[in-house]
A = this chain, B = another copy of it.
Amino acid sequence: MARTGLTVERLTLAAAEMADEVGFENVTVSALARRFGVKDASLYFHLKSAHDLRVQVAMLALREMADGAADALAGRAGKDALVAFANAYRDYALRHPGRYAAAQLQLDRETAEASAARRHAEMTRAILRGYQLAEPDQTDAVRLLHGTFHGYVSLERAGGFRHTPRTTDASWSRTLDALDALLRNWPPQ
């Protein structure tokens, strides 16, 4: 009956590792409890619900991604910044598939506000400073960039590109070239 020393942080981290190993959808309270050699009821002292656990993992992933992106952006501007940011994003998704899946969880409004989502948006806008876009073009460009990164990576993860010989690395690099060209040459209204 020794105490295990569980905390929300330890549980969240273990759940994140589990997600990367067996997939986010297989992260359950029971499995997590087994991992700590503890009854599942015990975890409810630290967690509100199974959904709460998933939200915690999602927020961890968002934080980690924002941290990585911030590092990548430091001291860069223009296309350099764009490429570094995009690569940080993609690398994280490929290295941590379970965490990345968690980050796609639908968060309710307040949770989303409290998450690192705002930092992501700010960094994207920081990148765009190198391209001198006025509003509302800037907002449109933010959405385009977010959408493109997320879409490309999630299709790549899903294996959507595997039936063509061209490597996804090469396509990715050219996609970034194309986005850079597009931002430098944003079409007039």
Which residues from chain A sit less than 8 Å from chain B, CB to CB? Answer: 104, 106, 109, 112, 117, 121, 136-137, 139-141, 143-144, 146-155, 158-161, 163-164, 166, 168, 170-171, 174-175, 177-178, 180-182, 185-187
Contacts and interface: CB of A to CB of B under 8 A. Distances in A.
Tallying the copies of this chain within the complex gives 2
A148 B155 CA distance: 10
Contact of A187 (B104, B141, B161, B177): B177
Contacts of A150: 147, 151, 154-155
A62 to B, nearest CB: 12
A91 to B, nearest CB: 16
B158 A151 contact: no
Given A117-B160, A151-B146, A151-B154, A166 B106 contact: no
Pick the 10 closest A-B CB pairs, nearest first: A151-B151, A147-B151, A147-B152, A150-B151, A181-B187, A140-B174, A140-B171, A182-B182, A139-B166, A148-B148
B143 A161 contact: yes
Given A152-B151, A155-B143, A136 B170 contact: yes
Contact of A158 (B104, B121, B149): B104
